[in-house]
């Protein structure tokens, strides 16, 4: 079986009934924290700059945080992810800043595809786990032509 299929099967298999309640509660906090951090970035220069792209897009698919506006799914994820990085308060783990990548993408896609909160939380948990496992697989691996390795932050 191809790696991509194995990964897709795993992601589809994640359900809240199979996740310990404590981990579900932590995931809920992670999602809420990321939304709060992104909302705190509204009005800051990086967010303003990337929101200017929304003015050039006529789509009405997904919400841009902190505004009454909607845009394309991908652009909402980009803008909301940028807002989440703006003040640099996004979460940090041994494998980067997973929530700032996961939450904007899952919320924009979930809004476009009319997904439930339960499905979004399952997507967050699956995405977080995949990111963690990919980092473990690449431990110490080169990630660029400059021979840098991925920086490490402490898990919390």
Q: What is the structure's pLDDT at 50?
A: 86
How buried is residue 51: exposed, middle or buried, by Cβ count under 10 Å (0-12/13-18/19+)?
Answer: buried
Nearest to 80 by CA among 113, 105, 44, 53: 105
Q: What is the mean pLDDT of residues 68-92?
A: 88
Q: What is the structure's pLDDT at 4?
A: 85
pTM of the entire structure?
0.81
- pLDDT at residue 7 tops 90: no
Q: What is the structure's pLDDT at 123?
A: 95
Q: What is the mean pLDDT of residues 106-131?
A: 94
Q: What is the mean pLDDT of residues 60-68?
A: 93
- pLDDT at residue 107 tops 90: yes
């Amino acid at each position: 079986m191809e790696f991509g299929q194995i990964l897709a099967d795993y992601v589809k298999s994640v359900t809240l009934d199979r996740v310990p309640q404590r981990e579900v509660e932590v995931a809920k906090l992670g999602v809420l924290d990321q939304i709060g951090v992104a909302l705190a970035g509204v009005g800051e220069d990086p967010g303003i700059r990337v929101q200017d792209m929304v003015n050039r897009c006529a789509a009405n698919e997904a919400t841009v945080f902190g505004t009454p506006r909607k845009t394309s799914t991908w652009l909402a994820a980009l803008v909301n992810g940028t807002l989440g990085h703006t003040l640099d308060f996004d979460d940090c783990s041994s494998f980067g800043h997973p929530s700032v990548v996961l939450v904007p993408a899952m919320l924009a896609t979930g809004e476009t595809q009319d997904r439930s909160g339960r499905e979004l939380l399952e997507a967050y948990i699956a995405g977080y786990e995949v990111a963690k496992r990919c980092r473990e697989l690449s431990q110490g691996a080169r990630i660029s032509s400059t021979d840098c390795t991925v920086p490490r932050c402490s898990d919390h």
